[in-house]
Amino acid sequence: MAGSRLAVARTAKLYVRGAFPRSESGRSYVVTSHDGTFLANAARASRKDARDAVTAARGAFAGWSGATAYNRGQVLFRVAELMEGRRDQFVREVADAEGAAADDAAALVDAAIDRWVWYAGWSDKIAQVAGAANPVAGPYFNLSVPEPTGVVAVLAPQRSSLLGLVSVLAPVIVSGNTTIVLASRTRPLPAVSLTEVLATSDVPAGVVNLLTGYPAEVAPWLASHEDVDAIDLAGAVPLPGDEPEVSWGDLEAAAAPTLTRVLRPAGDGPADAPDGAVEPDWRPTPDGPRRILTFTETKTVWHPKGR
């Protein structure tokens, strides 16, 4: 190999409270490319890592939800700027993970960056689209506004390692929620690179926390956690042809005692039916701010009008 240079491999770690720790369990697991080539030993998150991530997310909520919508929009736009700068890296990682041809991978990465920009622009508009001044029958000022629900756990899609990830992550944080994301088990590396982007983009520590590892080990602890306000079960859908690692019905049941808001995965059938849930095609632009509003609460305020 005259003239070839040994590359310095990146260590894939968790992302919690703005830092990159290994799993407290010390474990890792093998991540391969679509064709079985070794890529990395990614941290294998434990339930304690999940617990710590929830604490980090809760700690960051007051600051992030208290920022102006303008500020959040600018921060998210900055993330897109830095994603654009790392485009080549993302294309390589998506191609490795999904087995996509170079052109397809490039299109997916471009779509992911544009999706992020799309969501950034919603920050200071959601209140105008989903809020309302209500014409109550009395001398009262009455206003309804959407507010972020709090700490949201997200099971990122198994198949779409960057575009799918962006499509579930951005809508959660744009309104002021903080989050714990469990990356695709077999395709986590684009997510790891995304956290490196987040760490350098003015996103406050703890707003986004990323765990890599096994859904069966981590997801039930997130679903049942008393301090998690909502959970997105998109990642409970296995890769086509695979057996599900977790049942989204079981996760929803685990979330029920604390009335955690649940976003069920796409699909028509119940959890126990084969193909009851599918991973959608993430490419089309979302139909409105629905995914953002899923993770908001509506607050209505009254005030009399009188001299």
* Binding region for another protein (CB under 8 A): 69-70, 73-74, 77, 114, 117-118, 120-125, 128-129, 139, 141, 285, 288-289, 303-307
- Cα separation, 182 vs 161, in Å, equals 12
- Tokens describing residue 186: 């077999």
Name residue 41's beta-bridge partners: 30
* Residue with Cβ nearer another protein (117 or 278): 117
Three-state DSSP state, 222: helix
Cα 151 to chain centroid distance, Å, stands at 11
CA atoms within 13 A on the CB side of 8: 0
Least gap, CB of 65 to another protein (angstroms): 17
Least gap, CB of 245 to another protein (angstroms): 35
Least gap, CB of 110 to another protein (angstroms): 11
Which distant-in-sequence residues (6+ apart) come within 8 Å of 261 by Cβ? 149, 229, 230, 231, 294, 295
* Residue with Cβ nearer another protein (162 or 189): 162
- Cα separation, 158 vs 169, in Å, equals 14
* Residue with Cβ nearer another protein (80 or 168): 80
* Residue with Cβ nearer another protein (174 or 181): 174
Least gap, CB of 295 to another protein (angstroms): 17
* Residue with Cβ nearer another protein (73 or 188): 73
* Residue with Cβ nearer another protein (114 or 147): 114
Structure letter (DSSP) for residue 266: S
Least gap, CB of 145 to another protein (angstroms): 13
Name residue 262's beta-bridge partners: 231
How would you class 175 by CB atoms within 10 Å of its CB: exposed for 0-12, middle for 13-18, buried for 19 or more? buried
Least gap, CB of 288 to another protein (angstroms): 5
- Tokens describing residue 139: 């001398």
How would you class 226 by CB atoms within 10 Å of its CB: exposed for 0-12, middle for 13-18, buried for 19 or more? exposed
